[in-house]
Structures are given as C-alpha cells and as structure tokens.
Amino acid sequence: MYKDNSKSITHIESFGIEEIPAHARNATPFDLFRLAFGGANTFSTCVLGSFPIVLGLSFQAGLWAILCGVLFGACILAPMGIFGARTGTNNAVASAAHFGVHGRVIGSFLSLLTAIAFFSLSVWSSGDALMGATQRLLKSSYQNNWLYALVYSGFAILVLIICIYGFRFMLLVNRIAVIASSLLFLLGLLAFSQQFDPAYTGQVQLGQTGFWIAFTSAALIALSNPISFGTFLGGWSRYIPKQTASYKIMAAVFISQLATLIPFLFGLITATLVATHAPDFMAQNNYIGGLIQIAPTWYFIPLCCIAFIGGLSTGTTALYGTGLDMSSIFPKSLTRIKATIWVGVLSILFIFLGRFAANLTQSVMTFATLIVVCTSPWITIMIIGLLMRKGYYNNDDLHVFSQGIKGGVYWFHHGWNWRGIIAWIPSSMIGLCFVNLPNQFVGIWGNLCNGLDISLPISIVLAALLYILLVVLFPEPSTVYRALPSLPQKHPLSRPHSLISD
C-alpha cells in the first residue's frame, strides 16, 4: 500500500517511477501549466531570448525568429503532456510502448542531456545575475572564481534539496515563480522602456549574406526551450487523473509556452540595449554582465529576486524528472534521491567546465541545438505512436525494465522495438549532419543549402516517414493496440509469449 504524502511539501516524495495510484493523482492541468511556465519564466530563457541580437539580427527579425521557434515548439510539445496522465509514469518509461522496454533508454539518455544543459544554464545565468547585481548594489568590483564557484554550488545544492523533497515542493516553487517572476519581468520592461528602440537594426539585414543562417539559428535556439520539456512533462502530468480530457492537458502545455514569451521578449529587448549601450559585453557574449551594467539602480533588487526565484524553478524542473528516470534504469543501486544527487553533481561539473574552461554561451547554444535535433524525432515518433494506439497503453507492462523481468506486450524483439529505433537513429544522425552553427558546429552537409540550417525539418519529416512506413510494412503485435479481455492484465509474464513479442 502506497503512502499518500503527495499533498504535503514537508514530506519527501515516496513515489518512484512506478505508476502513480489513482488516490494520489490530485494535480490539475493548471498545475501542469504552472510547472511548464514556471520552469521557463527565468533568466535562462532571457539568455535564450538574447541570442537573436548576439547573432546580429534586428529587433524585428529577432522577434519573428522567437515567435516561430516558440509557436512551433509549443505545437510539438503539447501532446507530450498526455503520456503521463495516461500511463501514470514519466515519458521516458512511457516510450517503452514505442521503442521497447529496453529501447526506452533512448528517452532516458535524451532526458539526461537536456537536464544537464538546462540545469547548468539556470544555475549559471541566475548565479551570474545575482552576483553582478549584488556587487553593483554594494559598489564592489571584487571578483573571484572561487566566489562564483561557491555561489554556483550553493544554488545547485538548494535546487537539489527541493528536488529531493519532490513534486509538491517543486510545484510550490513554480507557483511562486509564475506570479512573482512575471510581475518582475513586466516591471523590468517598464524600467528599460525609455531606452528601448524597436527600430534597432542589428548587424545582419534581410537580403544580406548570412541573414537566414542567423535567423534559423535563433529560431532553433528559441525552439530548444519548449522541446527541452518533452522528456520531462510526463514526470509532472502523471499526477493528473487518468480520465482528464486530453485537450485540457494539451491546452495547458501550449498556453504555458506562449506565456514564456514574457521572459523571451525581456531578453530580446534588453539585449538590444546591451548591444547599444554596452557593446563590449555583447562582443564577449556576456549578456548578463551587460544587463547589470545598464540596469537602473532601483531595479537591482527585483533583478536579484528574478535570479533567485527563476533559477530555482528552472533548475528543479530540469533535474527532478531526470533523477526520477535514472533511478528506474538502475533500480537496484539508485533510489530517486540518489539518482537526483548523481545527476546534480554531474551538472555542476558541466557548469564549472563551461564557466571556467570554455565559452559557456557558445557551449549552451551548441548543446541546445544538438539536443533539439535529436529529441524532436523522438517526440515525433512518440506522438505518431500515441495516435496509432488511440491512447491505449498497458501500464503494467511499461515497467518490465525496472522490475528486472522479461515479457509483456512491449517486449517486442528482446526488449527492443526496432521500428521506432530504426526510425530514430538515422533521422537524428542525418539531422545532425545538416546542422550549421558557424564557428561552433557545422555538420558534413551543413553548407548544402548555402549555410541554411535545415536540420530540424529534415529530422522530423524523416522520423515521421520512416516510422509510419515501418509500422505499415511490419505491423506491430495486435496486443499493443488493445487489451486482451480473456487474459489477466496484472502481470506481464501472465501472457503467452507468442502474443507479446514479434
């Protein structure tokens, strides 16, 4: 019998990766909205919003790039919230239905990469903003790498503690972030309104060489934000009752991404000011340092609040789901808490390497783009599979991997559904070959379209065509589409092997 402590933030969450029982599913689509929006309503999203200006675009071109990226990403992301409510588990485990109980490690791997990238981005951006604003407020110019390392470590440990307590504590943080950060961002727009010039032209104009390269790169970076939630949504929506209408869940996710235009636009607008009034900072790809330099003194305290609250919300949403998932891959050696700590430590190492041994801005830009190209085909296969199965999942058989047993309707070929895997591998690999990020990462075919980055449409379309073609030519077992009314459904090994594998 599970202990239901899900309503209290003072108790450490007892649920692991197993299906959340009906009596503990008391979250709502609005709670999902809070988590998805709160996790992005932060400085890390502002940093992503500054990239169009970093890449040389005008304000108007940057605005269109962000709108294209966010809207397209919201459409891709919206169905991913359905899996958690239907299966009671996270999206990586749910992917066993389409990749096999062993093939689900693909989702776990993508989740790990995404968590490291965006947890690192949140700690770095919030830590730098907090340090910079405090130093200028106290009129101190003292800087020391050890001091920065201490701030990063302290911030990361605080995020870890929240994630260890679990879902309800994380939801509380994001409830605060949704309201507080939004108001503070709007206050910031007021603070910078007199300096802002919507006619900012940038360095690359429409019709000039390099414009479309910069535009597509900026759109991909904006797209990376909603896509980054694709592997995490199930970890939150699993607390939503199974009977909740799918359109309500999808609407909550879609609207949450539209709401992220607040921090995106804050980043875009203030980046034009940094480029105009503090060009040395922009030349060094130091948007946060430039923002602190040009900000009115009275806005420093709100700036520190955004850095603190926003960093907690983004960090927890990135880390929680991945810690949960890692515990299911190594069920005998890692609990949810141990796995969360392990992923957190790995992310801290990435922060230190990126901050002190490399160009973190370029590292994040490259990493985010590569994650989008690899994760988008995985999401595409999941959504197509959801439509083909008409929302039916055998929840017991999704957990064969973590239970250390064999069989079940998702066993396919020794635990691998080669249809989904064969569709994902070439689509993501070929997509990477078309990536074009000048001076950072250029695939072997990245210059075929005069430098235009077409990696994303290539990977998505190829994944969709390959998966549909393979399922049509090599039909999956009929048991993945419906329950077997004449057989018990409580244990995966209770089904005849001939009915549960290819």
Task: List, for residues 446-502, the tens digit of each pLDDT value.
Answer: 888 777 778 888 999 999 999 999 999 999 998 888 765 544 444 444 444 434 456
Which has the higher per-residue pLDDT, 441 or 381? 381
> What is the rounded distance in angstroms from the CA atom of residue 304 to the CA atom of residue 411?
50
pLDDT tens across 91-124, in order? 888 999 999 999 988 988 888 888 777 777 777 7
Is the Cβ–Cβ distance between 197 and 276 less than 8 Å? yes
pLDDT above 70 for 331: no
Residues 170-199, mean pLDDT to the nearest whole number: 84
Give the tokens for residue 258. 């539209």
Is the Cβ–Cβ distance between 352 and 202 less than 8 Å? no
Nearest to 189, CA basis, from 241, 136, 264, 124: 264
Please list the residues that pair with 413 across neighbouring strands. Answer: 416
- 3 pLDDT tier (thresholds 50, 70, 90): very low
What is the structure's pLDDT at 358? Answer: 58
What is the structure's pLDDT at 386? Answer: 94
Domain 30-393+418-475 has CATH 1.10.4160.10: yes
Please list the residues that pair with 436 across neighbouring strands. Answer: 442
Nearest to 122, CA basis, from 193, 190, 178, 41: 41
What is the structure's pLDDT at 396? Answer: 87
Give the tokens for residue 158. 């605080």
Is the Cβ–Cβ distance between 38 and 317 less than 8 Å? yes
> What is the rounded distance in angstroms from the CA atom of residue 87 to the CA atom of residue 101?
14
Nearest to 77, CA basis, from 40, 28, 48: 40
- H or E element in which residue 169 lies: helix 167-192
> What is the rounded distance in angstroms from the CA atom of residue 315 to the CA atom of residue 164?
12
Geometric angle at alpha carbon 82, from 238 and 390, rounded to 5°: 125
Cα–Cα distances in angstroms (integers) from residue 55 to residues 37, 121, 178, 202, 218, in the given order: 26, 19, 29, 9, 7
Q: Which of 205-214, 338-347, 373-382 has the highest mean pLDDT?
A: 373-382
What is the structure's pLDDT at 429? Answer: 94
What is the structure's pLDDT at 142? Answer: 60
What is the structure's pLDDT at 328? Answer: 64
Q: Which of 130-144, 259-273, 316-330, 347-361 has the highest mean pLDDT?
A: 259-273
* Residue appearing with tokens 């993501």: 428
* Residue appearing with tokens 């304000």: 59
Nearest to 213, CA basis, from 460, 462, 447: 447
Residues 378-393, mean pLDDT to the nearest whole number: 93
Q: Kindly state the DSSP code that residue 475 receives in the 8-state scheme.
A: P
Is the Cβ–Cβ distance between 399 and 18 less than 8 Å? yes
- 75 pLDDT tier (thresholds 50, 70, 90): very high
Q: What's the mean pLDDT when you consider all of the chain? A: 81
Residues 72-78, mean pLDDT to the nearest whole number: 94
CB 238: neighbour CB atoms within 10 A? 30
Give phi and psi for 479, each to the nearest 5: -70, -15
pLDDT above 50 for 224: yes
What is the structure's pLDDT at 78? Answer: 95
